Amino acid sequence: MELKRVVVTGIGAVSPLGNTAPETWENIKKGVSGAGPITKFDTALFKTKFACEVKNFNASEFIDRKSANKMDIYTQYAMVSAMEAVKDSGMNLEVVDKNRIGVVFGVGIGGINTFETEVSNYALHETDGPKYSPFFIPKMIADIAAGYISIQFGFHGPNFTTTSACASSTHALAVAMDLIRLGKADAIVAGGSEAAIWPTGVGGFNALHALSTRNDDPEHASRPFSASRDGFIMGEGSATLIFEELEHAKARGAKIYGEVAGAGMSADAYHITASHPEGLGAALVMESALADAGMNPDEIDYINVHGTSTHVGDISEAKAIQQVFGDHAYKLNISSTKSMTGHMLGAAGAIEAMISLLSVKEDIVPPTINHEEGDNDPEIDYNLNFTFNKAQKRTVRAALSNTFGFGGHNACIIMKKYKE
């Protein structure tokens, strides 16, 4: 069976760097940090007091207020990014076969704000019995964003959510690609969303010692591959990509951003939160993606790394890249855009796949910001080009995007230039 080709025809984003895909991408290229003091709750008693929050977001500008009130904010982000992507695709919803269009969305945690609020309200009324909202469960559950998106557009094709911590939305993209490759759908609205900047989210990651505590300098706190890194910054938001079967896209005259070349999946099978110190799972997932795409390592020009700014994670990923790419590792560009967006958890894979796609389209590699001269970790080889501090123009034939999640879940996807 010959696999069908998959292209990207629409994108949308709500991120700490902008509430649209173009605004996000422009700030990514400029090396803008999305970090700042947390405004969503009082952080006085928290070890970490900053994050990469979405700014100036008003769901009622896009969704009627009554409907928006029934959604957790992670679903609101998902809806807005999906609406932008569908519009950007130019798809005529009066003509396409909606039975052949699906939604696959990645979510790491889901409605943590709703859960936290409802549990707090119940505690306040414990003498009178439960006082939960009838919308508690449908607002909280991780699959509901995909459901809302399908309802919004009337898409009757495959519809579900992937949950694999920080690899969630890359798994969503990989599955969406395969559904189209195998002829089970003409198009998939694929992406991810997360909104965990709440007391339970920040407090929980603080308890794991995973977050940076550089409270006096939030904008420079995320510093992947630097010796002084002390943890990741929590981000939030959503990104959506419209994956479409090539002939279906061509038949309707769609613009094509690039082609989805292949994807890989693996497990560290090592530790519930720490990556394998030698990067074994990371190496395997990149090798798997290259094999799936039918590509050689020297055909990749850019890797958007997981690069969270944690001690073990950054070292193991750099080792894995050297293992997989050999001498070519020193000829390609590497960058961690989490240095700007923060770690968007379940949405990280989608936003970084979008960035990788635009890097391929525009031949520009975004930077890894916040590296200071001499701030070098002896366990990292700085002959690798981490694209520190400034974007770099170069031909980008193909880009690989890595995501690794708690539980040892690894996923990556390859975007390449579209050619007839």
Q: Is 52 a catalytic residue?
A: no
- Kindly report which listed range (26-35, 106-115, 131-140) carries the lowest average pLDDT score: 131-140
Tens digit of each residue's pLDDT (9 = 90 or more) over 171-192: 999 999 999 999 999 999 999 9
Please check the confidence at residue 130 and state whether its pLDDT lies above 90. Answer: no
Catalytic residue among 166, 171, 409, 412: 166
Phi-psi region of 389 (alpha: psi -120 to 50; beta: other; left: phi over 0): left
Strand partners, 246: none
Please check the confidence at residue 125 and state whether its pLDDT lies above 70. Answer: no
Tens digit of each residue's pLDDT (9 = 90 or more) over 375-418: 999 999 999 999 999 999 999 999 999 999 999 999 999 999 99
- The pLDDT of residue 126 is 61
Tens digit of each residue's pLDDT (9 = 90 or more) over 39-87: 999 999 999 999 999 999 999 999 999 999 999 999 999 999 999 999 9
Q: Is 166 a catalytic residue?
A: yes
- The pLDDT of residue 123 is 67
Contacts of 234 (CB under 8 A, 6+ apart): 48, 51, 52, 196, 197, 201, 202, 205, 211, 342, 343, 345
Name the average pLDDT for the chain: 96
Over residues 213-226, mean pLDDT: 98
- d(Cα 252, Cα 247) in Å, to the nearest integer? 9
Q: Is 306 a catalytic residue?
A: yes
Over residues 245-263, mean pLDDT: 98
- The pLDDT of residue 351 is 98
HSE-up of residue 57 (Cα within 13 Å, Cβ side): 29
Contacts of 349 (CB under 8 A, 6+ apart): 106, 166, 167, 168, 169, 170, 171, 172, 173, 192, 401, 403, 411, 413
Q: Report the sign of the C-alpha dihedral through residues 8, 13, 17, 18, in that order.
A: positive
- The pLDDT of residue 120 is 85
Please check the confidence at residue 265 and state whether its pLDDT lies above 70. Answer: yes
- Kindly report which listed range (96-100, 103-107, 122-126, 409-413) carries the lowest average pLDDT score: 122-126
Catalytic residue among 220, 276, 343, 371: 343
- Both tokens assigned to 259: 């082609």
Please check the confidence at residue 323 and state whether its pLDDT lies above 80. Answer: yes
Percent of the chain past pLDDT 90, that is, above it, reads 94
- Both tokens assigned to 276: 């394998």
Nearest to 376 by CA among 228, 231, 230, 219: 228
Please check the confidence at residue 346 and state whether its pLDDT lies above 70. Answer: yes
Catalytic residue among 220, 306, 371, 409: 306
HEC assignment per residue over the chain: CCCCCEEEEEEEEEECCECCHHHHHHHHHHCCCCCEECCCCCCCCCCCCEEECCCCCCHHHCCCHHHHCCCCHHHHHHHHHHHHHHHHHCCCCCCCCHHHEEEEEEECCCCHHHHHHHHHHHHHCHHHCCCCCCCHHHHHCCCHHHHHHHHHHCCCCCEEEECECECHHHHHHHHHHHHHHCCCCCEEEEEEEECCCCHHHHHHHHHCCCECCCCCCHHHCCCCCCCCCCCECEECEEEEEEEEEHHHHHHCCCCCCEEEEEEEEEECCCCCCCCCCCCHHHHHHHHHHHHHHCCCHHHCCEEECCCCCCHHHHHHHHHHHHHHHHHHHHCCEEECCHHHHCECHHHHHHHHHHHHHHHHHHCEECCECCCCCCCCCCCCCCCCECCECCCEECCCCEEEEEEEECCCEEEEEEEECCCC
